Structures are given as C-alpha cells and as structure tokens.
A and B are shown apart, each in its own frame.
Chain A
Amino acid sequence: MRLLSTAAWLGMSLLATAAGAQTAAPPAGRLLASNCFQCHGTNGAGPGFDSIAGKSVDEIYKELREMRSENPGNDIMKAHARGYTDEQLRQISTYLSQQRSSSSSSD
C-alpha cells in the first residue's frame, strides 16, 4: 500500500518536474532572502521597517555591506548583517531587487 502510493507520488513528482522544469527549482536566493520578511514584510515589500524590495542589486548590496562593517551599537540591523557572507548578501540583494516594491502582495 505504502509502496504503491510512494511510487505514484514519485511518478507525479517526475511528471511535475518534466511539465514545469523551469519552476521546479525555486528562484535562487528566495529562501535566504526570506529571512528579511519578518521585519520588512513578505518579499520585502512591507508592512514593517524600511521597504527593501525593488531597489537595484548594487544599492541593496552596498547598504548591507556597509551595515555589516559598522559597530552595531543599538542598531539591530547592523548586528544582523554580520550573519551573512558576501556571497549570501549578493544573493539576497539579487532576489530582493526582483520583487515589486508595492506593499501589496496581490501580484
């Protein structure tokens, strides 16, 4: 019974992979960038602290790198930025740059 359902499920998955090959793999950086969403809203588009969606990759990346290099003091974001490598910050910036800046997520 279980073998049957597993086989059926695997078959379904393979079909799904074949049918939607371009969507089976999630967009690069999406899961990583979702760490921003708790404070900046789903896809970075608010509501919350500064909206971070839809800016250019370079703008977001530069800002994150600057934050990471400064003494955090009382700024939680400067402490948070220290958790990521250059490569991770680049991936986050790229994903966020592709999101709509509107506060509506109805797209």
Chain B
Amino acid sequence: MKDDNLDNAQLIRRRLLQAAGLGSLAAMLPVLGCGGGSTADDGGVSFAQGRSSPTTSTTTTLLQTGLSGRVVVVGGGMAGAAVAKYLRLWGGSGVSVTLVERSPSYTSNIMSNLVLTGQRTLGSLQYKYDTLASRYGVKRLQGEVVAIDPVGRKVTLASGGTLAYDRLVLAPGVEFIYEQGVGIPGLESAAAQARVLHAWQAGPQTTALRNQITAMPSGGVFVLTIPAKPYRCPPGPYERACLVADWLKKNRPGSKVIILDANPGITAEVHSFTDAFMNVHAGVTEYHAKVTINGIDTSTMTVDSSVGRIKANVINAIPPHRAGRVVTAAGLTDPAGRWASVNQLSYESKVAAGIHVIGDSAGTAQPKAGHIGNQLGKVCADAIVRAFGGLPPDAAPVTNSACYSPITMETASWLTAVFAYDPGTQAMVAVADSFREAAARDGGNFSNMSKWFNALMSETFS
C-alpha cells in the first residue's frame, strides 16, 4: 500500500493564518476551548502507589457555625476534593461530608504530558485523600455509586450499602465516547482501543503512550486527533503536540507530528500555538483544522480523514466526551445527553433538586479544567452552606481559569480568564478584558508552571 503521508503545507499555512486572524474574535468568545477539566477518573483505573498529600496533616479546628447537614460527594478529582474540603472549612463541624471515589488516589491530568517526554513520573502526579480526612474530617469511602434515589435522598453503593444525604454533589469527570455512530469509527472494540490510545485520563495509558513514542523510529509519524469542543482541556492537545514534537526532534530526527483537529481552528492560546506550529516546531508539526475522521484502521495503522489517508507509527486519538456515567445514568443531562444542566449560581441540577453537578460534567461555558474545577467546588460549597443556613446562593459568583502550557521541553506559555455570572443569560460568561494569553513563551513561564501546579494541588488536596 502506498504511504500517503500528508505534506500539505499550503493548506496548513492558510488555516493557521485563518486561526491567527480569529485571535481577536476568539478573545471575545466566552468559551475557552482548552476544555479544561478536573476530576476523577471515570474509567475505573486504580493505582498501586500514590504519594501522600504534599503537606503535613495538622488538624484544622473547624468553625462552629451552628449549621448541620449531610453531604455526599461522588468523585475525588479537582472539583470533588475542593467541594469536600470547603464544605467542612466553611460549613463547620456540623456539616458531615462523605467523599466516595473508586480510586485510592487521584492522578493529575495537568502536567501529565511531561510523562510522555520523560520529564515527570506518573507517581509524582498522584495525590491521596489522607489530608482531607485528617485535617478537615472528610469521611473517605473508597467505592462506587451505582444508583441515586433523588426522592428518598440516598445513594446505593456497588458494595450494596446506602448513604443518605441532604445534598448530593456529583463530580465524576468525563466519560469517553466510543460507541458506533458517535465515537471515532474503527475504535469501537477493546482491541482497537488498546492499540490506539487516548492517554487522556492520566494513568496507565499515559505510560503506554510514552512507550509507543519511544519505540518510534527516526523519520516516524505521530498522529494526534482532537475532538470538537467542548472537551476536557488537561492534558491539553496542542501542548501534547508541542511536547511530542520537541522530544521527537531531539531523539528521533526527521519525525513528524500531524495534528488533525475537528475544530475550525486552534481553540486555545491561538497566538502561542500558531507560533509553535509555524515557527518553533516548523518542519515537525503539521496542523489541520476542520478535519473529519472517516475511520482508523488499527491493523494498518492508517487514519482515513477529510485531509487524506495517513499511515502512522503512533496514532493518539482523543475521543469525544460526555458527562461522567453517574450523571448520565441519573438523567441529569441536557437534551443532547452530553452535559448536566445546572443552575450556575449553585450548580444544583435543573432536573433534580438537592443534586449538584460540578467540574467537567457541568454544562457551562467555563473550561473543563482543574484550576476552574477547584473554583466550581468552592462556589458549590458556599451555596450548600448558605442553603443549610436558609440563605440563597451568592447572586454574583466569579470564577477563574488559569493554565500554563509547555511549548517546548523548557519553555511555556499561559492562558487565563475570569468568569462572572450574567443575570440576563443566567450563565457564567468570560470577562473579555481578562481573557488573555502570554505574550511569549519563555523559561520563566515554565518554572512558574511548576509553582502553579504545586500550589493548585496543595490547595485542593490539603
């Protein structure tokens, strides 16, 4: 079979220019494409080793607020851990919080692309729940919720037990879609999914993708497919393309990284990633927008797409996402069945009273990312604490998104935005003037990235 590697430089350049021209328009749009996202693994992955939370576990003397209530939190990712912590910190000792999570520890999607380049270990991205338990008195329950009774206000666990609640918070993260007709054609079977990885939930697949990359020959081809937004941003698709390109440039000369993006253009950090694909990694990266994947043949490792047939050494296909299974199973999603419909003042479901949905599963214009997932946890905790005191939620919540993105193995850029509640549309919208990206990639941003990550994880898990 003829190898139809694309070298469609003109097309790419035109699309990149289009994308660059869209920069100012994109800056006014409330959707941050780097679809962000927090939260827990919905794939049942468990990890043998987790490191302890980064600080000592001094017990916090909780407030005596006079409030009381029972909250069950499902999912111990960025949003779930934050809401559990702040329910206790702000609600006080009378608010009991049980955190149900199937994994013994959380593995961060943020920074996990650096595992692909060998710059971080997976173990360095794992966080346990010990400190939330010892410092704040969060009750930890390793298990899985299999049914919700919204009328009787209780959940049933896979172990058979039940937990009663006054408020239920669901923070399950995302589920990847592989079914025929919705997912990427050719990846329906478990065997196909084992060959063509997503590595989009940090864990064993991250290590497996690292091994596929290091097994590439010089002059090899790495194909990355990106789904239409909204998708969970971290690990970050464009960031991944950049880091893989940089590693291949240094270790497997002559290789290419071909990016097949379903979106009309680069969805986040247009300036930084346009520069990355056109200049920094010129000759290695090939970016294509508005791409339809007709199918992936895992036996020949060929991608059949609207920009041609591409034979690859490694195909990394990020599937489309929807809300975590516990949310869809409870019927809490919008008519399209993808994301939970929520009141954006409190994240209470519009379908079921007393059930809140935060993090990646919530259907809002805010990015699906851990930094803002943490803030959604705090907005939700505040609303629940107020409700226990007979008060309505804060009428003007504000959240913020921030992320650093490696452009090379030594430099990074950043993206940030503040979101505020708009009473007219009853939705969180970006404050236009705050929606900005770094002027230029540099080493200072790269070192600040570690500082940001450590602060964020410490704030969330300890």
The B-contacting residues of A in range 36-89, CB under 8 angstroms, are 37-42, 46-49, 72-74, 76, 79-84, 88
Cβ-defined partner of B65 (8 Å) among A12, A23, A35: A23
Give the distance in Å from the alpha carbon of A88 to the alpha carbon of B398 in the complex: 10
Q: What is the minimal beta-carbon distance from A9 to any residue of chain B, in angstroms?
A: 6
Q: What is the minimal beta-carbon distance from B352 to any residue of chain A, in angstroms?
A: 12
Chain A 19-36, CB-CB to B under 8 Å as 1, else 0, gives 110011110001110110
Asked if A48 meets B451 with Cβ closer than 8 Å, knowing A9-B166, A20-B67, A34-B375, the reply is yes
A7 within 8 A of B: no
Cβ-defined partner of B455 (8 Å) among A9, A35, A39: A39
Is the CB–CB distance between A74 and B440 below 8 Å? yes
Q: What is the minimal beta-carbon distance from A79 to any residue of chain B, in angstroms?
A: 4
Give the distance in Å from the alpha carbon of A106 to the alpha carbon of B314 in the complex: 49
Chain B interface extent, by class: 35 or more
Cβ-defined partner of B439 (8 Å) among A20, A39, A74, A84: A74
The A-contacting residues of B in range 43-82, CB under 8 angstroms, are 55, 58-61, 63-69
Give the distance in Å from the alpha carbon of A81 to the alpha carbon of B434 in the complex: 7
A42's closest neighbor in chain B, by CB? Answer: B459
| Residues in B whose Cβ lies below 8 Å from that of A42 | 89, 459
A80's closest neighbor in chain B, by CB? Answer: B416
Give the distance in Å from the alpha carbon of A9 to the alpha carbon of B69 in the complex: 8
Cβ-defined partner of B152 (8 Å) among A2, A19, A72, A79: A2
A13 within 8 A of B: yes
Asked if A83 meets B382 with Cβ closer than 8 Å, knowing A23-B63, A48-B455, A106-B61, the reply is no
Asked if A74 meets B438 with Cβ closer than 8 Å, knowing A26-B385, A38-B459, the reply is yes
Give the distance in Å from the alpha carbon of A47 to the alpha carbon of B461 in the complex: 12
| Residues in A whose Cβ lies below 8 Å from that of B417 | 83
Is the CB–CB distance between B65 and A82 below 8 Å? no
Asked if A73 meets B152 with Cβ closer than 8 Å, knowing A35-B398, A38-B371, A84-B418, the reply is no
Is the CB–CB distance between A31 and B63 below 8 Å? no
Is the CB–CB distance between B386 and A41 below 8 Å? no
Is the CB–CB distance between A76 and B418 below 8 Å? no
Chain B 380-421, CB-CB to A under 8 Å as 1, else 0, gives 001001111111001001111010000000000010111010
Is the CB–CB distance between B459 and A48 below 8 Å? yes
Is the CB–CB distance between B60 and A47 below 8 Å? no
A1's closest neighbor in chain B, by CB? Answer: B152
Is the CB–CB distance between B390 and A16 below 8 Å? yes
Asked if A83 meets B166 with Cβ closer than 8 Å, knowing A34-B378, A35-B400, the reply is no
Give the distance in Å from the alpha carbon of A49 to the alpha carbon of B55 in the complex: 16
| Residues in A whose Cβ lies below 8 Å from that of B59 | 106
Q: What is the minimal beta-carbon distance from A38 to any residue of chain B, in angstroms?
A: 5
Is the CB–CB distance between A48 and B454 below 8 Å? yes
A12's closest neighbor in chain B, by CB? Answer: B68
Q: What is the minimal beta-carbon distance from A29 to any residue of chain B, in angstroms?
A: 11
Is the CB–CB distance between B66 and A19 below 8 Å? yes
Is the CB–CB distance between A25 and B436 below 8 Å? no
| Residues in A whose Cβ lies below 8 Å from that of B61 | 106-107
| Residues in B whose Cβ lies below 8 Å from that of A14 | 390
B456 within 8 A of A: yes
Nearest 3 CB-CB pairings of A with B: A83-B418, A20-B66, A48-B455
A–B pairs, 19, beta carbons within 8 Å = A9-B166, A10-B390, A13-B387, A16-B388, A23-B389, A26-B385, A35-B399, A39-B402, A47-B455, A47-B458, A49-B451, A74-B439, A74-B445, A82-B418, A83-B434, A105-B58, A105-B135, A106-B61, A107-B61
